[in-house]
Structure 1
């Protein structure tokens, strides 16, 4: 049980890490998107991704609910 707890903590910490180098410009604010309300689906919001030279916006999309 303790091992699973520490594994989850480690996963949470790694997920929060930035992947941009220290000299990169700050991440821009999120771009507002329309989030459609569809039955049996969920909206996954867009996010900024560092491509090695600049921040690139990855658009949101609809995913089926499991």
Structure 2
């Protein structure tokens, strides 16, 4: 988005009006969404690792186990 904005400033006559702000806004919102998806992924991964430390079953008593 920053490269597009620089190209817009350098070649002012070749770009239609309103294109650069729309592109900058689009990429800004997309980056915010990706940031929060990453935070949610880290949270889910942390919860998964905490769950894996627990035993699969809790045995009250073992009978005929060698």
TM-score by length of 2: 0.32
Larger radius of gyration: 2
TM-score by length of 1: 0.32
**Higher strand share goes to which structure?**
1
